[in-house]
Amino acid sequence: MARGRDPMNLLILGGTGEARELAKELVARGEHVVSSLAGRVARPKLPHGETRVGGFGGPEGLARWLTENDVDAVIDATHPFAERIGANAAIAARETGTPLLRLARPGWTEQPDDTWHWADDLDHAARLLPALGDRVFLTSGRQGLAAFAGLDLWFLIRCVDPPEVPLPRRHEILLDRGPYTVENEHALMERHGIEVLVTKDSGGEMTAAKLTAARGLGLPVVVVRRPSRPETASVTTVQDALTWLSGTAKGSPA
């Protein structure tokens, strides 16, 4: 904590590794940090500082929470595909005059030996699959799988918690949590005879091994684009977020 001022009251919209790393750094500096988790994972990795689980009740509820808790700044470090909370945060921050920062890891970059097919959403990804392969490794998370339910293909569905129904008629569920290794991902795809991989453009190293394995096996990959986010100050690293907080948040010294 910087000398000559009280600790900042900070809200981190979390659930990602970057959010946990940022919370750890800020708590070590003496700031008061509350990390908000959506509650969609049964056994989440808890960050340093205080934690709250569950929604705020839309942008109005979040705005009220920011005011009641005298929040100095909000850092939206949610998953790249958590678009609803991002939109709510932008509205609440604007209504309350609270500084807002988006902390988002960069997306993945296609390599020369990759065969990627970009999809606008899960429905688009499902429409691409029949022309690409009959055995699908589906790693897009446990929500939204209804988009694939009508396809007469075989799916290996990997997610952290049991997925929601409806599901494809022919499938196998694999409950697992990263990080993953290239060797294990390669073996998994070979063992199940995978012909095409489906993933969201989540970015980061924790789950990138599947892309390397698919490249080595010569498999096509369907990559779902990130949804648009409200325009706000944005950084890609925890260090840049710390720099922004030191110079932008109203709790910082002049």
Q: What CATH number does the domain containing 237 carry?
A: 3.40.50.720
69 and 90 in a single domain? The answer is yes
Same domain, 43 and 125: no
In a domain, 129, yes or no: yes
Whether residues 134 and 207 fall in one domain: yes
Q: Does 78 share its domain with 124?
A: no
Asked whether residue 122 falls in the same domain as residue 167, the answer is yes
CA 179 to chain centroid, in Å, comes to: 14
Tokens of residue 194, six digits: 């995978």
pTM: 0.87
* Same domain for 211 and 148: yes
In this prediction, the residues of the chain whose per-residue pLDDT falls under 50 are 1-3, 250-254
Domain co-membership, 99 together with 121: no
Establish if 40 belongs to a structural domain.
yes
Q: Is residue 2 part of a domain?
A: no
* One domain, residues 232 and 171: no
The whole-number pLDDT of residue 4 equals 52
Same domain, 220 and 237: no
pLDDT of amino acid 39: 66
- Could you tell me if residue 191 is inside a domain? yes
Tell me, yes or no, whether 161 and 232 share the same domain: no
Identify whether residues 219 and 232 lie together within a single domain. no
Domain of residue 79 covers 9-104+228-248
Looking at residue 119, which CATH number applies to its domain? 3.40.50
Q: Long-range contacts: 4-9, Cβ < 8 Å, 24+?
A: 4/253, 5/251, 5/252, 5/253, 6/251, 7/31, 7/32, 7/251, 8/32, 8/72, 8/73, 8/245, 8/249, 8/251, 8/252, 9/34, 9/69, 9/70, 9/71, 9/72, 9/251
Residue 232 in any domain: the answer is: yes
141 with 163, same domain? yes
* Domain count of the fold of the chain: 2
Can you give the pLDDT at residue 131? Answer: 98
> Torsion-angle region of residue 209: left (phi > 0), alpha (psi -120 to 50) or beta?
alpha
User: Does residue 110 sit within a domain?
Assistant: no
Classify residue 211: in a domain, yes or no.
Answer: yes
For residue 96, being part of any structural domain is answered with yes
